[in-house]
Structure 1
Amino acid sequence: MVYYGAISRGCERCRRRKVKCDERKPQCLKCEMLQKQCPGYRDLNRILFRDETKRIAQKSRKEWNQLPKSRKTTSIQLPILSLISTRVLYPLAQPIDEYAANFYFSKYIFVESPFSEGYYAWLAQSYSQNGHILRTAIEAVGLAAISNMMYAPRVATRSKIQYCKTLTCIRRAIDNPIEATSDSTLMAVILVVLFETIHFEVSDRYEYWAAHVKGAMTLLQLRGREQFATERGGQLYLLIRPQILLICMQQRISVPTALIETSYRFQTSTIRRQWQEESVASPNSIFSTSFRVIDIAATLEGGQAVQEAIRDINNELESWKAGLLSHWNYTIMNGEGEVAGDQYSGMVHSYPSLWIAEAWNNWRILRIMVNQLILQNEVPQNPGYSERIATAISVIQEMCSDICISVPSFGNTQRILSLIRPLYVVALEGLNPEYMRTFAVERLRHIGASMGIRQACLLADSIIQKPSDAPSSLILAPCVFKVPLIPFC
């Protein structure tokens, strides 16, 4: 069984012409322009993984027959000969668990600051140890993703078995005072959070995801200041922090004191200063600002004080942009040569790194949320009301447009997962034009199909199926769609 990677979804005529197909149904636009019947689309489920056993066996026989007789008559029994059979019992060249691990490392792990080669090596070494807590966790994640791509119930069942084994290992670890604060235990919890994101089927699973995220928050608190003495401690904190903030926003609760304290320890740590010197971290963190945004959204109280606080936060976000060093800036270029389906408005952004690109999108999401709060809290009696409303609408649409333009920068890299939440915000925002929201929905579907993330497809479906009278912003409807929005990053 051979995995062929990403395969064109386009119609046969577009594939032969080697042009981008818009995949429109019942027929694509290019066929329509040629005034020819569109031949339709392939079933990717049947060709993504192909059983090549028969072809490989025939090739092996041919090579064997071409060998000199002196080598054929050897009395040594070659293991490969036992595989050459017209009836093969094990079509996979390696155990499915190992195949899943390979999928995980190729799709979800990247080597780019702040996640160094040491981080990758640690995960790989941990996986290589039989009985290690991260071994079953990594396999559970990989199996869940493969089952999504192949629609394979047996693989999905196997992923749940490995998931349950991981939970057993986690329970055993947290009962041990030393293991409870180890990097491996926290990473295992982060991986089961990722599993719930990938495997997410129905809204009932939301509570499992939320419970794992809250468990990770407890571990962060137990680990104390010492966790930031190493680079890995900072890396693990960065992985789980966005998930904690998402729960606060969805459940309309203030940022927990434990996260505020942990965040302060991180901001004042040596590793954070080191990342700033290496231009991995921005000169000023926007996460303290995000804490304030979430706290205001949690109260849903109006009044002059709240309006002034929102304006102050808006100014803080503008100051963050103004205070960036030149190597944090991006350039806007013509999208010529880029994949047509990834482009929005024919323009693309060029960022110094994908980590910086993600930071910019996080900033854009915050600006969208703040301006949604402005629209929600401004009253006509306030001086300058009309101007502030018009400005807020313009900023929301500009930030959403920039998110769409940033998409080609991520390509098909592992960092494409970081686009799930920004694209969902764009698709959900009712102030955006229909073509922009459609672009965001299509990109979500692409991420879901190419990365095995069911969550992305569910979010796209939730937009299409959303009632016309349902709230159309993340601030107004944080609890309407209880789906894990922020991916593993």
Structure 2
Amino acid sequence: MVYCGKPSRGCQCCKTRRIKCDEARPACGNCKKSGRECPGYPDEFDLIFRNETSATKKRAQKASNRNRSNTSFSRSLFERAALDPKFPFFDIDCSSPSFWVSSIPAGLEYSVEAAATSFFFRNFVYLPLNSGSGRGYLEYLIPMYNQASSDSPLQLATHAVALSALGNYPGNSRLKVDARKAYGRALNKINEAIQDPLTAASDHSLMTILMFSLYEAVASTDKQPTAWSNHVDGAVALAKLRGSDGWKTKESVGLFRAIRMCMLTSAIQRAKPVDEYPGPKGWTCDDNFEQNPANRLAIISLDLPNLRRYAVDVVSQSPSLNKNAEIMHIMKMAQEVDGRLEHWYLTLPEDWGHRTVRMQLEEPVDVFNAPQWQGPVHIYDDLFMANIINDYRVSRIFCQQIILNMSGALSDPAPETLITVHGMQQHAMYVARTMADDVCSSVPFHLEIDLQPRARDSGQEIHAAEATGGYFLSWPLFVIGNTDCVPMRQREWIRGRLYRIGQDFGLSSAQMMTLAQKSVLTSGPSFP
């Protein structure tokens, strides 16, 4: 493949008039000044990976034969981007306000992996966020990636994630083969690294394992839930080696919090107790660092796995007065956790609130294919904020499910107990349905970039923005789609939205369920 010239990112109107476009969004300055309607900008994905004619491909093949070092590039749509030294790669210096520069970042070679990783950084890592909605670990990936060598497990794991993610784009499934190869090489490298006590629990090793867990979520094959949970368990084990005093920097605290969130998700889904963490403060040993709303939600949610495990153990007991007393105790504990969650929501900063932009007055006729459920459409400042709010709703639904399940396990309760339980049941169903309705109101925002001002104004590629939204939705939709008190028609609509997300990801129904179950409940990675 040969170089066709630097692709223009200007609007079509400026291209036609052969003038320089300032690429302002949502409409360029030239169109505004001349009173023209700006037609918008070309798709970023198409700009990077343009198709060429067969004649051009033949010329590229001849050039490749003359230069053996280029033969490996002829197999992918990523060739032009990888081979062109003027191609605008993403500037991975976190301090730079610029998204694109005409240079190759340190440690990034000319290759398929280079183009994929550049696109991954640009569209999924370095995005403008509300200051209170940052809670993941990907914001620390860029400097670590720059510091790592080209054959390090961290760079290989990053390439695996980037290639797998772009392999979900239509027509690029073959990239998943490259992703699996990079993943395998990274696994071999990290297995060597963790044999050394000095590198086993380093920031780079922990980041690598978190990237493995992200790869398992992105790849979403039918056989990978165990692999994902194994990576989470491995990250927890390495984190414990550092103890409660091993987190001194902002970057290391970010990794600790990400590992805690992954552990929390795994524990909730498997109804297993939270692993104990060494030190008097346990999993809250990051208290000395600033807690934003996302991290405060995680700390509140730490009680959920143990409560669910306690409930499972009590239900398995034989009927007795003592069992009834324990059941009532569990229900009250669930109410207490739910109260703390509600207080978290009521004390959020004002800019965390949603805005209603449209209303669906009637239930859709074609429930499975309808883009919106009956009721309002809510929009938020950014996807990550909406994701955190939906995690709050899911946590409250779990509390209501515990109350409802426990009430059904009572054996011959006294009349006064029945009155109390009935009131708790009615309130639990009301809260669960309200939370489910609010999640449904956020669905169009997640799946339509036109409703996402931060993504749109920053120029994020459309498919990337909507895929991120789809990833964030998979877990809350999976939960409310399996909540008994949610009406059947609404659950049918939810299944339709999950099917649509699966189609966008190129996943089967079974794979979509795997993706949903691996979504991170309280620390969703900033990428689909």
Distance of aligned partners of 1:132 and 1:432 in 2 relative to their CA distance in 1, 3 Å threshold: same
Distance of aligned partners of 1:424 and 1:258 in 2 relative to their CA distance in 1, 3 Å threshold: same
Q: Distance in 2 between matches of 1:258 and 1:285?
A: 14
Q: Distance in 1 between matches of 2:471 and 2:230?
A: 22
Matched-pair contact (CA < 8 Å) for 2:355–2:380: no
Q: Distance in 2 between matches of 1:56 and 1:326?
A: 58
Aligned: 1:484 with 2:518: yes
Matched-pair contact (CA < 8 Å) for 1:181–1:222: yes
Partner of 1:330: 353
Q: How does 1:380-419 map to 2 (within 5 A)?
A: 381=413, 382-384=417-419, 385-410=421-446, 411-412=448-449, 413=465, 414=468, 416-419=470-473
What letter matches 2:356 in structure 1?
Answer: M
Distance of aligned partners of 1:426 and 1:320 in 2 relative to their CA distance in 1, 3 Å threshold: closer
What letter matches 1:202 in structure 2?
Answer: D
Distance of aligned partners of 1:483 and 1:255 in 2 relative to their CA distance in 1, 3 Å threshold: same
Partner of 1:99: 115
CA RMSD of aligned residues (A): 4.0
Partner of 1:359: 388
From 326, 329, 335, the counterpart of 1:305: 326
Query: Normalised by the size of structure 1, how large is the TM-score?
Result: 0.68
From 215, 223, 236, the counterpart of 2:234: 215
Q: Distance in 2 between matches of 1:454 and 1:242?
A: 25
Partner of 1:286: 300
3-state SS of paired residue (2:374):
coil
What letter matches 1:316 in structure 2?
Answer: V
Query: Normalised by the size of structure 2, how large is the TM-score?
Result: 0.64
Matched-pair contact (CA < 8 Å) for 1:100–1:146: yes
From 151, 154, 174, the counterpart of 2:194: 174
Matched-pair contact (CA < 8 Å) for 1:407–1:419: yes
- Per-residue CA deviations over 1:275-295 (Å, capped at 9, x if unaligned) read 44xx66549942333344343
Superposed displacement of residue 214, structure 1: 0.6
Q: Distance in 1 between matches of 2:327 and 2:181?
A: 49
Q: How does 1:2-81 map to 2 (within 5 A)?
A: 52-54=51-53, 57=56
Q: Distance in 2 between matches of 1:281 and 1:121?
A: 22
What letter matches 2:326 in structure 1?
Answer: A
- Per-residue CA deviations over 1:9-68 (Å, capped at 9, x if unaligned) read xxxxxxxxxxxxxxxxxxxxxxxxxxxxxxxxxxxxxx999862229959x9xxxxxxxx
User: What residue ranges of structure 2 are gaps of 5+ in the alignment?
Assistant: 8-45, 68-72, 83-110, 316-322, 361-368, 450-464
Aligned: 1:368 with 2:400: no
Between Structure 1 and Structure 2, how many residues are aligned? 392
Matched-pair contact (CA < 8 Å) for 1:335–1:343: no
Percent identity among equivalent residues?
20
- Per-residue CA deviations over 1:52-103 (Å, capped at 9, x if unaligned) read 2229959x9xxxxxxxxxxxxxxxxxx99x99xxxx9555312322233134
What letter matches 1:363 in structure 2?
Answer: Y
Partner of 1:21: none
Partner of 1:135: 155
Partner of 1:194: 214
Partner of 1:10: none
Matched-pair contact (CA < 8 Å) for 1:347–1:405: yes
Q: Distance in 2 between matches of 1:342 and 1:125?
A: 41
Matched-pair contact (CA < 8 Å) for 1:350–1:409: yes
Distance of aligned partners of 1:346 and 1:401 in 2 relative to their CA distance in 1, 3 Å threshold: closer
What letter matches 2:389 in structure 1?
Answer: W
What letter matches 2:428 in structure 1?
Answer: A
What letter matches 1:399 in structure 2?
Answer: M
User: What residue ranges of structure 1 are gaps of 5+ in the alignment?
Assistant: 5-46, 61-78, 463-480
Matched-pair contact (CA < 8 Å) for 1:253–1:298: no
Aligned: 1:433 with 2:487: yes
Matched-pair contact (CA < 8 Å) for 2:153–2:208: yes
What letter matches 2:114 in structure 1?
Answer: E
Distance of aligned partners of 1:118 and 1:371 in 2 relative to their CA distance in 1, 3 Å threshold: closer
Aligned: 1:149 with 2:165: no
Deviates more, 1:176-185 or 1:145-154: 145-154
Q: Distance in 1 between matches of 2:389 and 2:278?
A: 22
Superposed displacement of residue 425, structure 1: 0.6
Partner of 1:420: 474
Partner of 1:249: 268
Q: Distance in 2 between matches of 1:216 and 1:420?
A: 23
- Per-residue CA deviations over 1:120-147 (Å, capped at 9, x if unaligned) read 54155246x4223211101111222233
Matched-pair contact (CA < 8 Å) for 1:364–1:403: yes
